[in-house]
Amino acid sequence: MTTPATAAAGSGANPYGLLPALQGGGVISWSVFIILTLSLAISIFILLSKLAEQQKIMNQAKKVRTTFWSSPNLRDAANKLEKNSAYRQVVDDGLLAEDQHTRLTDPVDQHEWINNSIARSTNSINQKLSSGLPFLATVGSVAPFVGLFGTVVGIYRALIAIGASGQASIDKVAGPVGEALIMTALGLITAVPAVLAYNWLLGRNKNVMKDLVGFANDIHAYMVSGGAVRPTTGLAKPTAAPTKVAATASGVQTKG
């Protein structure tokens, strides 16, 4: 007697591929497959979009280090930055807080008022950078169990096929067992990239925010000091060294 698997094999079709396994599993297998596939696609989209967002801020940080602090005042320096950028947002919020402080009816220390405004600005940027990461963490935690659910259903169908036929023949159990293995593999394929992407993006976010918070502190110090305190730029360092040497040389001549 020719079995369906034998007939399919004779016709050249693969009876144990992905599509036959999903068709044999029914609604449950299709639901698990669709959920895991969509989760994987969304995870990849979040990874790519967040990488582009982080790289944009990193490029802005390079521009800040090279040109921002060479400007005569803060408003001219802000015009050198891209509109709606993270660093521009910090500067604009600081300048706005400085303008608003003169309109307050109750006396509030300018240092505290500007500091709170800049802190809110950096926190909002951090929240924006962190958006999507909870989804990656959820997928990384839940996807293996969703795949395991599909595995259990496949094994259950294999046991039913064995009980119905009264014998554990390959053609009876190969389909359900293959379906179970596919669901297990799909769950791992979905979970592992999500976990790796989550940890990678989280580490890059920390580096981005470290530079941004440092810049925010420099802006705060500049504003509350009336421009007297600013970070030393790369252009100012070469002029500082000759001054120190000249002073030393002068001291030696005085001793002589």
Where do the domains of the chain lie? Answer: 14-255
Return the percentage of the chain with pLDDT > 70, whole number: 75
The answer, yes or no, to whether residue 133 has pLDDT greater than 90, is yes
- Greater confidence (95 vs 163) lies with 95
Task: Write the CB contacts of 143 (distance below 8 Å, at least 6 apart in sequence).
Answer: 36, 39, 187, 188, 190, 191, 194
DSSP class of 231 = P
The residue-averaged pLDDT of 26-51 equals 90
The answer, yes or no, to whether residue 146 has pLDDT greater than 70, is yes
Distance CA 86, CA 48 (A): 19
The residue-averaged pLDDT of 24-51 equals 88
Distance CA 180, CA 174 (A): 10
Please tell me the pTM assigned to this model. 0.74
Q: What b/e readout covers 196-226, taking b as 16+ CB neighbours within 10 angstroms? A: ebbeebeebbeebbebbbebbebbbebbbee
The residue-averaged pLDDT of 99-106 equals 76
Q: How many residues does the chain have?
A: 256
Q: Which of 10-19, 171-180, 191-200, 220-229 has the highest mean pLDDT?
A: 191-200
Residue 154 confidence (pLDDT):
76
The answer, yes or no, to whether residue 15 has pLDDT greater than 50, is yes
Residue 163 confidence (pLDDT):
72
